[in-house]
Amino acid sequence: MTAQTLLRCANTAMVVFLVLFCIVAYLAWGMEAQLPLMLIAVLHFLQILLAGLFKVSYVVRLIAQNQLGLALR
């Protein structure tokens, strides 16, 4: 896998995980009265998992930028 492909995949993964996190956060915090308690617990766990996956995607992005010789932001 080339560094350019890795960067594109990492950027896409960051967007996907951010969107999923926002959806899960809305369900966990905005719709908690309408959902069963077990589902709320799963949604809170998913928030932690998605945040971690977002951070891993960011690290992969930094690695790809470093391989391409780009400024690390």
* 31: DSSP letter: S
State the pLDDT at residue 34. 95
Rg, C-alpha atoms of the chain:
16
Give the C-alpha separation, 29 to 36, whole Å.
Answer: 13
- Model confidence at 73: pLDDT above 80: no
Band of residue 72 on the pLDDT scale cut at 50, 70, 90: confident
DSSP per-residue string spanning 46-65:
HHHHHHHHHHHHHHHHHHHH
State the pLDDT at residue 1. 81
Give the C-alpha separation, 33 to 37, whole Å.
Answer: 9
**Mean per-residue pLDDT, 23-33:** 96
Give the C-alpha separation, 28 to 44, whole Å.
Answer: 6
